[in-house]
Amino acid sequence: MAERLKNYIDGAWLDAGAAEAVDVLNPATSVVLAEAPLSPATAVDAAARAGVPAYREWRRRPAGDRIQPLFKLKALMEENLDSLARTITNECGKTYGESVGEMRRAIENVEVACGIPALMQGVNNEDIAPGIDEHMIRQPLGVVAAITPFNFPGMIPFWFLPYAVATGNSFLLKPSERVPMTSAKLFELIEAAGFPQGVVQLVHGGRDTVNAILDHPEIKAVSFVGSTATARYIYSRASANGKRAQCQGGAKNPVVVMPDADMEMTARILADSAFGCAGQRCLAASVAIPVGGARKELTERMAGIASARKVGYGLDGGVEMGPVISAASKSRIEEWIAKGAREGASVLVDGRGKQVSGCEDGFFVFPTVLDNVPPGGEVARTEIFGPVLSLMHAATIEEAIGMVNDRGYGNMACIFTSDGASARRFRYEVNAGNVGINVGVAAPMAHFPFSGWGESFFGDLHAQAHHGVEFYTQTKVVVERWPRDWSRKF
């Protein structure tokens, strides 16, 4: 029988006390790798309670001391990169190279958070009135929590964890129950890095576990990444309970291709964006909009690249794309391809019904290209979250920007062009928080906030960098007078 994973609470690995568990499958083979316990509210309560005294002691340590375990964690993550990447590939399906890239992004966030002594500095003015000074200082919130999705099990917890603990909070992670093994491995490293008991905790689980987090009075802030429906729900329940919340949701990312773009480079980068991680990236290109004369060549190139992409088990050499996460995802994606055809699109490259030799039980959907997707239809507007690229056509850049802005999501929009004026106009006018110019996955580095807009984000402060620092701290303003101040003599 597969191992049932444990929670990490108050510095100890504990049985979750869960009545139910979810099988964690390797999506390339359907082999059961582990069981994720669906932790009850009592486990969340134990972690939240342990987090309170831990935070009270931790926040008193100088920032320069608090970052020491993060330096150690960075070194441990580097040393264990290979086994972490293999774990990600096995439970999540992406290729080994993609898993290594993901862990690099996680490590970058640890590096940035090591700058907390400077990043969380306050501001002050001397003599706001004669002999009176005013300071704004930043203080941590207490116990904070993050709830994360399946598609980046190594990276996304690190959009939050390093900033939360470096600023002096205690932190609780509830990872996706579909990919909990990466977190389990990372928490072994967190334990070895030497954080004090209760400062960083792990509670596995699903919907009820999340509700216990959202309702717990000791949890002061919630960070979430996942689908828009869940993001909206978590934002409203957390806020109604008086918590800070930052909730990143789904996406439908358009890419405009101008006739003056370098077509060979554009098609190659666009394919990596649309089919990388089997299209299960919140920054995956899902709609390409060639403008005017770009249409014929881009369409032919995308069809050629999609048909040639090597699909298989992500640890096998030469594999460029792995499976999608589950049998349910595979059927849902295949149904969207069928719906595209029903809405009038032509299926130029059809990824349905294909098998990978030696992985016959895997959840594979091969790269798919839909042409002439009607802009007003459901396929053009709905997140498919699989390796499906929809082509829509525009005569002018105005029309293309209109198509980009005609959707609720605002995670990413990209343009490929060799003309600076077109690029500037696009950057200026599109409704998206992450913009790529001749770039297919405009993922902000750890020292920039991950800036989704619209239905891709609920909240105001985003993940990463100085937004993370602001989210995990509250400001305190001190106005100070010392009546016998000697400096007034001068």
Return the number of the residue (55 or 336) whose C-beta is nearest ligand NAD.
336
Q: Are 122 and 138 in contact (CB under 8 A)?
A: yes
Binding mask 122-151 for ligand NAD (x = CB under 6 A): -------------------------xxxxx
Strand, coil or helix: what is 365?
A: coil
Q: Is the dihedral of CA 439, 443, 446, 452 positive or negative?
A: positive
* Catalytic option among 247, 282, 359, 414: 282
Establish if 89 lies at the interface with ligand NAD (CB under 6 A): no
Establish if 452 lies at the interface with ligand NAD (CB under 6 A): yes
Distance CA 284, CA 448 (A): 19
Distance CA 25, CA 330 (A): 14
- In DSSP notation, 146-178 reads EE--SS-TTTGGGGTHHHHHHTT-EEEEE--TT
Q: Is the dihedral of CA 207, 211, 214, 217 positive or negative?
A: negative
Q: Closest separation between CB of residue 457 and ligand NAD, Å?
A: 7
Q: In the range 390-449, which residues lie near ligand NAD by CB under 6 A?
A: 411
- Order the strands of the 200-202 sheet from edge to edge: 12-14, 7-9, 200-202, 170-174, 143-147, 219-225, 244-248, 457-458
Q: Which of 213, 157, 216, 235 is nearest to 190 (CA)?
A: 157
Establish if 177 lies at the interface with ligand NAD (CB under 6 A): yes
Q: Closest separation between CB of residue 278 and ligand NAD, Å?
A: 12
Return the number of the residue (348 or 414) whose C-beta is nearest ligand NAD.
414
Binding mask 227-266 for ligand NAD (x = CB under 6 A): x--x--x--------------xxxx---------------
Q: Closest separation between CB of residue 282 and ligand NAD, Å?
A: 3
What lies within 8 Å, CB to CB, of 430 at 6+ separation is 401, 404, 405, 413
Q: Which of 334, 350, 383, 470 is the binder for ligand NAD (CB under 6 A)?
A: 383
Return the number of the residue (25 or 120) whose C-beta is nearest ligand NAD.
25
Cβ atoms within 10 A of the Cβ of 102, count?
Answer: 26
Q: Can 282 be counted among the known catalytic residues?
A: yes
Establish if 176 lies at the interface with ligand NAD (CB under 6 A): yes
Q: In the range 301-360, which residues lie near ligand NAD by CB under 6 A?
A: none
Q: Which of 8, 275, 364, 450 is the binder for ligand NAD (CB under 6 A)?
A: 450
Q: Closest separation between CB of residue 27 and ligand NAD, Å?
A: 13
Q: Which stretch binds ligand NAD (CB under 6 A): 25-33, 160-168, 307-315, 450-458?
A: 450-458
Phi, psi of 220 (to 5 degrees): -95, -20
Q: How many CA atoms lie within 13 A of 94 on its CB side?
A: 28
Q: Are 393 and 290 in contact (CB under 8 A)?
A: yes
Residues interacting with ligand NAD, by CB under 6 A?
147-152, 174, 176-177, 206-207, 210, 225-227, 230, 233, 248-251, 282, 383, 385, 411, 450, 452, 456
Catalytic sites, residue numbers: 282
